[in-house]
Structure 1
Amino acid sequence: MSLPAISETNHLPLSGFTKVISLLFEPTALLTQRIYDSRPFESYDDLLDCANKHIQDLSPLEQLEVVNAHPRIGENANNLSALSRAEQGIKSANEDTVLARWAKLNREYEDLYGFRFVVFVNGRSKEELFPIADSRIAHGNKSQELTTGLAEMVDIARDRARKLQATPACNSSPKI
Protein backbone atom coordinates (compact mmCIF):
# COMPACT_ATOMS: atom_id res chain seq x y z
CA MET A 1 0.00 0.00 0.00
CA SER A 2 1.36 3.41 -0.91
CA LEU A 3 0.15 6.94 -1.50
CA PRO A 4 -0.28 8.21 -5.04
CA ALA A 5 1.79 11.23 -6.02
CA ILE A 6 0.32 14.42 -4.56
CA SER A 7 -0.26 15.72 -8.11
CA GLU A 8 -2.48 12.68 -8.75
CA THR A 9 -4.26 13.08 -5.41
CA ASN A 10 -5.02 16.72 -6.25
CA HIS A 11 -6.99 15.60 -9.32
CA LEU A 12 -8.93 12.69 -7.87
CA PRO A 13 -12.71 12.83 -7.63
CA LEU A 14 -14.07 12.96 -4.07
CA SER A 15 -14.49 9.17 -3.89
CA GLY A 16 -10.83 8.54 -4.77
CA PHE A 17 -9.64 11.40 -2.59
CA THR A 18 -11.59 9.89 0.32
CA LYS A 19 -9.70 6.60 -0.11
CA VAL A 20 -6.37 8.44 0.08
CA ILE A 21 -7.40 10.48 3.15
CA SER A 22 -8.63 7.26 4.78
CA LEU A 23 -5.08 5.93 4.58
CA LEU A 24 -3.90 8.89 6.66
CA PHE A 25 -6.82 9.54 9.02
CA GLU A 26 -9.64 7.39 10.23
CA PRO A 27 -12.34 8.48 7.80
CA THR A 28 -14.77 11.28 8.54
CA ALA A 29 -16.74 12.84 5.72
CA LEU A 30 -16.59 16.25 7.39
CA LEU A 31 -12.80 16.49 7.52
CA THR A 32 -12.34 14.83 4.13
CA GLN A 33 -14.66 17.32 2.44
CA ARG A 34 -12.85 20.29 3.99
CA ILE A 35 -9.46 19.01 2.86
CA TYR A 36 -10.83 18.17 -0.60
CA ASP A 37 -12.19 21.70 -0.99
CA SER A 38 -8.73 23.13 -0.16
CA ARG A 39 -6.87 21.47 -3.05
CA PRO A 40 -4.37 21.66 -4.67
CA PHE A 41 -1.49 20.78 -2.37
CA GLU A 42 2.22 20.96 -3.09
CA SER A 43 3.02 17.95 -0.89
CA TYR A 44 1.51 15.59 1.64
CA ASP A 45 3.05 17.78 4.36
CA ASP A 46 1.09 20.69 2.88
CA LEU A 47 -2.08 18.57 2.85
CA LEU A 48 -1.55 17.60 6.50
CA ASP A 49 -0.85 21.20 7.51
CA CYS A 50 -4.14 22.11 5.85
CA ALA A 51 -5.93 19.25 7.62
CA ASN A 52 -4.52 20.41 10.95
CA LYS A 53 -5.76 23.95 10.32
CA HIS A 54 -9.22 22.67 9.41
CA ILE A 55 -9.30 20.53 12.56
CA GLN A 56 -8.48 23.59 14.67
CA ASP A 57 -11.23 25.59 12.92
CA LEU A 58 -13.94 22.98 13.51
CA SER A 59 -16.57 23.58 16.15
CA PRO A 60 -16.12 21.56 19.36
CA LEU A 61 -18.95 19.24 18.27
CA GLU A 62 -17.28 18.68 14.89
CA GLN A 63 -13.94 18.04 16.62
CA LEU A 64 -15.65 15.35 18.69
CA GLU A 65 -16.84 13.69 15.48
CA VAL A 66 -13.28 13.66 14.14
CA VAL A 67 -11.61 12.36 17.31
CA ASN A 68 -14.31 9.70 17.82
CA ALA A 69 -13.60 8.30 14.35
CA HIS A 70 -10.30 7.06 15.76
CA PRO A 71 -10.30 3.48 17.11
CA ARG A 72 -9.79 2.67 20.76
CA ILE A 73 -6.48 1.14 21.81
CA GLY A 74 -7.09 -2.54 22.36
CA GLU A 75 -10.23 -2.58 20.22
CA ASN A 76 -11.17 -5.80 18.47
CA ALA A 77 -8.77 -6.13 15.53
CA ASN A 78 -11.71 -6.82 13.19
CA ASN A 79 -12.94 -3.25 13.83
CA LEU A 80 -9.62 -1.61 12.93
CA SER A 81 -8.32 -0.34 9.62
CA ALA A 82 -5.30 -2.24 8.28
CA LEU A 83 -2.99 0.59 9.35
CA SER A 84 -4.48 0.84 12.85
CA ARG A 85 -4.20 -2.93 13.22
CA ALA A 86 -0.50 -2.77 12.27
CA GLU A 87 0.14 0.22 14.55
CA GLN A 88 -1.50 -1.50 17.51
CA GLY A 89 -0.03 -4.86 16.56
CA ILE A 90 2.68 -5.25 19.17
CA LYS A 91 1.31 -8.17 21.19
CA SER A 92 1.98 -8.93 24.81
CA ALA A 93 2.56 -12.28 26.46
CA ASN A 94 -0.43 -11.49 28.69
CA GLU A 95 -2.63 -9.99 25.95
CA ASP A 96 -5.96 -10.80 27.63
CA THR A 97 -4.96 -8.90 30.78
CA VAL A 98 -3.64 -5.98 28.74
CA LEU A 99 -6.82 -5.78 26.66
CA ALA A 100 -8.96 -5.92 29.81
CA ARG A 101 -7.00 -3.03 31.29
CA TRP A 102 -7.39 -1.04 28.05
CA ALA A 103 -11.14 -1.68 28.07
CA LYS A 104 -11.25 -0.26 31.62
CA LEU A 105 -9.02 2.74 30.76
CA ASN A 106 -11.04 3.51 27.62
CA ARG A 107 -14.29 3.46 29.66
CA GLU A 108 -12.80 5.71 32.37
CA TYR A 109 -11.44 8.17 29.84
CA GLU A 110 -14.63 8.30 27.79
CA ASP A 111 -16.80 8.64 30.91
CA LEU A 112 -14.62 11.51 32.11
CA TYR A 113 -14.14 13.42 28.85
CA GLY A 114 -16.93 12.25 26.53
CA PHE A 115 -14.67 11.17 23.64
CA ARG A 116 -12.04 8.59 22.78
CA PHE A 117 -8.49 8.48 24.06
CA VAL A 118 -6.04 9.00 21.19
CA VAL A 119 -2.29 8.64 21.42
CA PHE A 120 0.39 8.23 18.76
CA VAL A 121 1.50 4.67 19.51
CA ASN A 122 4.76 5.09 17.57
CA GLY A 123 5.92 1.49 17.92
CA ARG A 124 5.28 1.24 21.65
CA SER A 125 3.54 -1.72 23.21
CA LYS A 126 0.07 -1.34 24.70
CA GLU A 127 1.61 -1.70 28.18
CA GLU A 128 4.01 1.18 27.56
CA LEU A 129 0.99 3.42 26.96
CA PHE A 130 -0.68 2.71 30.33
CA PRO A 131 1.16 5.53 32.16
CA ILE A 132 0.17 8.01 29.45
CA ALA A 133 -3.52 7.09 29.74
CA ASP A 134 -3.34 7.10 33.55
CA SER A 135 -1.74 10.55 33.56
CA ARG A 136 -4.18 12.01 31.07
CA ILE A 137 -7.11 10.66 33.08
CA ALA A 138 -5.69 12.05 36.32
CA HIS A 139 -4.41 15.44 35.16
CA GLY A 140 -6.14 16.56 31.99
CA ASN A 141 -9.10 18.78 31.38
CA LYS A 142 -11.68 18.27 28.65
CA SER A 143 -10.54 21.11 26.40
CA GLN A 144 -6.86 20.20 26.72
CA GLU A 145 -7.57 16.52 26.15
CA LEU A 146 -9.54 17.24 22.98
CA THR A 147 -6.68 19.42 21.71
CA THR A 148 -4.16 16.70 22.61
CA GLY A 149 -6.17 13.92 20.99
CA LEU A 150 -6.59 15.87 17.76
CA ALA A 151 -2.87 16.74 17.67
CA GLU A 152 -2.03 13.06 18.21
CA MET A 153 -4.25 12.19 15.23
CA VAL A 154 -2.30 14.58 13.01
CA ASP A 155 0.97 13.07 14.28
CA ILE A 156 -0.35 9.62 13.37
CA ALA A 157 -1.34 10.85 9.91
CA ARG A 158 2.11 12.41 9.37
CA ASP A 159 3.77 9.14 10.34
CA ARG A 160 1.50 7.18 8.02
CA ALA A 161 2.21 9.59 5.15
CA ARG A 162 5.95 9.26 5.71
CA LYS A 163 5.73 5.46 5.72
CA LEU A 164 3.32 5.22 2.79
CA GLN A 165 5.44 7.53 0.66
CA ALA A 166 8.50 5.41 1.42
CA THR A 167 6.73 2.23 0.30
CA PRO A 168 7.72 0.95 -3.13
CA ALA A 169 4.91 1.63 -5.58
CA CYS A 170 5.02 -1.68 -7.46
CA ASN A 171 1.33 -2.61 -7.75
CA SER A 172 0.63 -1.48 -4.20
CA SER A 173 -1.27 1.74 -4.85
CA PRO A 174 -4.81 1.85 -3.51
CA LYS A 175 -7.43 1.16 -6.13
CA ILE A 176 -8.88 4.62 -6.66
Structure 2
Amino acid sequence: MSLALAQFNDLSQEVAVSQLLICCTSSAWANKLAYARPFADVDALLANSDAIWHDVQTNEANLLEAFDGHPQIGNVASLKEKYRNTQDSAAHEQSGANDAADDVLEALAKGNQDYLDKFGFIFIVFATGKSAAQMLDLLLARLPNDRATELANAAAEQNKITRLRLSKLLGNA
Protein backbone atom coordinates (compact mmCIF):
# COMPACT_ATOMS: atom_id res chain seq x y z
CA MET A 1 0.00 0.00 0.00
CA SER A 2 1.43 3.34 -1.05
CA LEU A 3 0.30 6.44 0.81
CA ALA A 4 0.70 10.13 0.24
CA LEU A 5 2.33 11.88 3.18
CA ALA A 6 -0.90 13.77 3.93
CA GLN A 7 -2.78 10.45 4.09
CA PHE A 8 -0.12 9.02 6.39
CA ASN A 9 -0.33 12.05 8.65
CA ASP A 10 -4.11 11.59 8.90
CA LEU A 11 -4.10 7.90 9.82
CA SER A 12 -5.15 6.85 13.29
CA GLN A 13 -2.28 6.02 15.63
CA GLU A 14 -3.11 2.32 15.40
CA VAL A 15 -3.21 2.23 11.60
CA ALA A 16 -0.07 4.38 11.29
CA VAL A 17 1.79 2.02 13.62
CA SER A 18 0.65 -1.00 11.59
CA GLN A 19 1.91 0.65 8.39
CA LEU A 20 5.23 1.54 10.02
CA LEU A 21 5.68 -2.01 11.30
CA ILE A 22 5.82 -3.07 7.65
CA CYS A 23 8.93 -0.88 7.35
CA CYS A 24 10.56 -1.93 10.61
CA THR A 25 9.24 -4.39 13.19
CA SER A 26 10.52 -2.48 16.22
CA SER A 27 7.30 -1.56 18.03
CA ALA A 28 9.09 1.17 20.02
CA TRP A 29 10.29 2.83 16.80
CA ALA A 30 6.89 2.49 15.08
CA ASN A 31 4.93 3.87 18.02
CA LYS A 32 7.26 6.83 18.54
CA LEU A 33 7.36 7.72 14.85
CA ALA A 34 3.57 7.49 14.50
CA TYR A 35 3.22 9.71 17.57
CA ALA A 36 5.63 12.29 16.06
CA ARG A 37 3.22 13.05 13.18
CA PRO A 38 2.34 15.19 11.33
CA PHE A 39 5.38 15.63 9.12
CA ALA A 40 5.78 18.60 6.80
CA ASP A 41 7.55 16.53 4.15
CA VAL A 42 9.21 13.18 3.57
CA ASP A 43 12.61 14.56 4.59
CA ALA A 44 11.15 15.51 7.98
CA LEU A 45 9.68 12.03 8.36
CA LEU A 46 13.03 10.42 7.51
CA ALA A 47 14.91 12.74 9.87
CA ASN A 48 12.49 11.88 12.67
CA SER A 49 12.80 8.19 11.84
CA ASP A 50 16.59 8.42 12.04
CA ALA A 51 16.48 10.23 15.39
CA ILE A 52 13.97 7.80 16.87
CA TRP A 53 15.93 4.81 15.58
CA HIS A 54 19.10 6.27 17.12
CA ASP A 55 17.23 6.49 20.44
CA VAL A 56 15.51 3.08 20.43
CA GLN A 57 18.56 1.14 19.19
CA THR A 58 20.24 1.70 22.56
CA ASN A 59 17.92 -1.04 23.85
CA GLU A 60 19.05 -4.42 22.51
CA ALA A 61 15.51 -5.81 22.72
CA ASN A 62 14.36 -3.14 20.23
CA LEU A 63 17.14 -4.14 17.84
CA LEU A 64 16.36 -7.83 18.08
CA GLU A 65 12.66 -7.13 17.55
CA ALA A 66 13.53 -5.22 14.37
CA PHE A 67 15.92 -7.93 13.17
CA ASP A 68 13.28 -10.61 13.72
CA GLY A 69 11.22 -8.97 10.98
CA HIS A 70 13.67 -10.18 8.32
CA PRO A 71 13.73 -13.64 6.79
CA GLN A 72 16.95 -15.53 7.28
CA ILE A 73 18.95 -15.94 4.11
CA GLY A 74 20.00 -19.51 4.48
CA ASN A 75 18.05 -21.74 2.17
CA VAL A 76 20.18 -22.56 -0.89
CA ALA A 77 17.12 -23.14 -3.11
CA SER A 78 15.67 -19.70 -2.31
CA LEU A 79 19.09 -18.08 -2.77
CA LYS A 80 19.41 -19.72 -6.20
CA GLU A 81 16.03 -18.34 -7.21
CA LYS A 82 16.85 -14.84 -5.93
CA TYR A 83 20.19 -14.51 -7.68
CA ARG A 84 19.50 -16.48 -10.87
CA ASN A 85 16.74 -14.01 -11.70
CA THR A 86 19.36 -11.33 -12.42
CA GLN A 87 20.32 -12.82 -15.80
CA ASP A 88 18.44 -10.07 -17.66
CA SER A 89 20.25 -7.34 -15.75
CA ALA A 90 20.78 -3.95 -17.31
CA ALA A 91 23.99 -3.60 -19.32
CA HIS A 92 25.61 -1.33 -16.73
CA GLU A 93 25.60 -4.03 -14.07
CA GLN A 94 28.67 -6.17 -13.59
CA SER A 95 28.50 -9.47 -15.40
CA GLY A 96 29.51 -11.26 -12.18
CA ALA A 97 26.17 -10.35 -10.66
CA ASN A 98 24.23 -12.02 -13.46
CA ASP A 99 24.67 -15.60 -12.31
CA ALA A 100 25.47 -16.59 -8.77
CA ALA A 101 27.51 -19.77 -8.66
CA ASP A 102 26.25 -22.65 -6.55
CA ASP A 103 29.39 -22.54 -4.39
CA VAL A 104 28.76 -18.86 -3.60
CA LEU A 105 25.15 -19.56 -2.66
CA GLU A 106 26.14 -22.52 -0.50
CA ALA A 107 28.85 -20.43 1.22
CA LEU A 108 26.28 -17.65 1.78
CA ALA A 109 23.82 -20.08 3.34
CA LYS A 110 26.56 -21.54 5.58
CA GLY A 111 27.85 -18.06 6.49
CA ASN A 112 24.37 -16.93 7.47
CA GLN A 113 23.99 -19.92 9.77
CA ASP A 114 27.46 -19.34 11.25
CA TYR A 115 26.53 -15.71 11.85
CA LEU A 116 23.26 -16.65 13.56
CA ASP A 117 25.04 -19.23 15.71
CA LYS A 118 27.73 -16.73 16.76
CA PHE A 119 25.66 -13.59 17.36
CA GLY A 120 22.18 -14.91 18.12
CA PHE A 121 20.51 -12.86 15.38
CA ILE A 122 20.45 -13.03 11.60
CA PHE A 123 22.85 -11.20 9.29
CA ILE A 124 21.30 -7.82 8.47
CA VAL A 125 22.57 -5.95 5.43
CA PHE A 126 21.11 -3.42 3.01
CA ALA A 127 21.02 -5.85 0.11
CA THR A 128 19.57 -3.63 -2.62
CA GLY A 129 21.81 -3.79 -5.68
CA LYS A 130 24.25 -6.31 -4.20
CA SER A 131 25.13 -9.62 -5.83
CA ALA A 132 25.37 -12.89 -3.95
CA ALA A 133 29.18 -12.65 -4.05
CA GLN A 134 29.10 -9.12 -2.62
CA MET A 135 26.74 -10.25 0.13
CA LEU A 136 29.06 -13.15 0.94
CA ASP A 137 32.08 -10.83 1.06
CA LEU A 138 30.24 -8.51 3.47
CA LEU A 139 29.11 -11.38 5.65
CA LEU A 140 32.60 -12.89 5.83
CA ALA A 141 34.11 -9.49 6.64
CA ARG A 142 31.69 -9.01 9.54
CA LEU A 143 31.76 -12.55 10.92
CA PRO A 144 35.01 -12.05 12.94
CA ASN A 145 33.51 -9.04 14.78
CA ASP A 146 32.38 -9.13 18.39
CA ARG A 147 28.67 -9.05 19.22
CA ALA A 148 28.59 -5.36 20.22
CA THR A 149 30.17 -4.37 16.90
CA GLU A 150 27.71 -6.50 14.99
CA LEU A 151 24.72 -5.10 16.85
CA ALA A 152 25.91 -1.63 15.79
CA ASN A 153 26.57 -2.74 12.19
CA ALA A 154 23.20 -4.47 11.93
CA ALA A 155 21.44 -1.43 13.46
CA ALA A 156 22.99 0.85 10.83
CA GLU A 157 21.98 -1.54 8.04
CA GLN A 158 18.47 -1.83 9.51
CA ASN A 159 18.14 1.95 9.34
CA LYS A 160 19.08 1.97 5.64
CA ILE A 161 16.48 -0.72 4.98
CA THR A 162 13.87 1.16 7.00
CA ARG A 163 14.51 4.43 5.13
CA LEU A 164 14.02 2.65 1.80
CA ARG A 165 10.82 1.00 3.01
CA LEU A 166 9.47 4.31 4.32
CA SER A 167 10.15 5.89 0.94
CA LYS A 168 8.35 3.02 -0.77
CA LEU A 169 5.42 3.29 1.65
CA LEU A 170 5.04 6.93 0.68
CA GLY A 171 5.52 6.23 -3.03
CA ASN A 172 8.92 7.96 -3.21
CA ALA A 173 11.13 5.02 -4.19
Larger radius of gyration: 2
Relative CO higher for 1 or 2, CA cutoff 8 Å, sep ≥ 6? 1
* Residue 17 (structure 1) aligned with residue 16 (structure 2): yes
Q: Which residue number corresponds to residue 6 of structure 1? A: 5
* CA offsets 1:84-136 (integer angstroms, 9 cap, x no match): x9xx9442645654443232111211222221211111211122211110010
* Residue 106 (structure 1) aligned with residue 112 (structure 2): yes
Structure 1 residues 105, 94: closer, same or farther in 2, change over 3 A?
same
TM-score normalised per structure 1: 0.71
Match of 1:30 among 21, 28, 46: 28
* CA offsets 1:53-82 (integer angstroms, 9 cap, x no match): 22222212222211232222355999xxxx
In 1: Cα distance, 2:76 partner to 2:7 partner: 34
In 1: Cα distance, 2:54 partner to 2:20 partner: 18
Q: Is the 8 A contact 2:126 2:160 kept in 1?
A: yes
Q: Is the 8 A contact 1:90 1:124 kept in 2?
A: no
Q: How many residues align?
A: 156
- Secondary structure of the equivalent of 1:40? coil
* Alpha-carbon RMSD: 3.0
Query: Among the aligned pairs, what percent are the same residue?
Result: 28
Q: Is the 8 A contact 1:48 1:157 kept in 2?
A: no
Residue 17 of structure 1 aligns with an amino acid whose one-letter code is A
Q: Which residue number corresponds to residue 142 of structure 2? A: 136
Q: Which residue number corresponds to residue 69 of structure 2? A: 69
User: Which runs of structure 2 are paired with 1:112-127 in the superposition (5 Å)?
Assistant: 112-127=118-133
TM-score normalised per structure 2: 0.72
What stretches of structure 1 of length at least 5 have no aligned partner? 79-84, 168-176
Q: Is the 8 A contact 1:73 1:126 kept in 2?
A: no
Match of 2:161 among 156, 159, 162: 156
Q: Which residue number corresponds to residue 60 of structure 1? A: 60
User: Which runs of structure 2 are paired with 1:73-84 in the superposition (5 Å)?
Assistant: 73-74=73-74
In 1: Cα distance, 2:155 partner to 2:31 partner: 17
In 2: Cα distance, 1:77 partner to 1:42 partner: 44
What stretches of structure 2 of length at least 5 have no aligned partner? 85-97
Residue 45 of structure 1 aligns with an amino acid whose one-letter code is D
Q: Is the 8 A contact 1:45 1:158 kept in 2?
A: no
Deviation at 1:12, TM superposition (A): 0.6
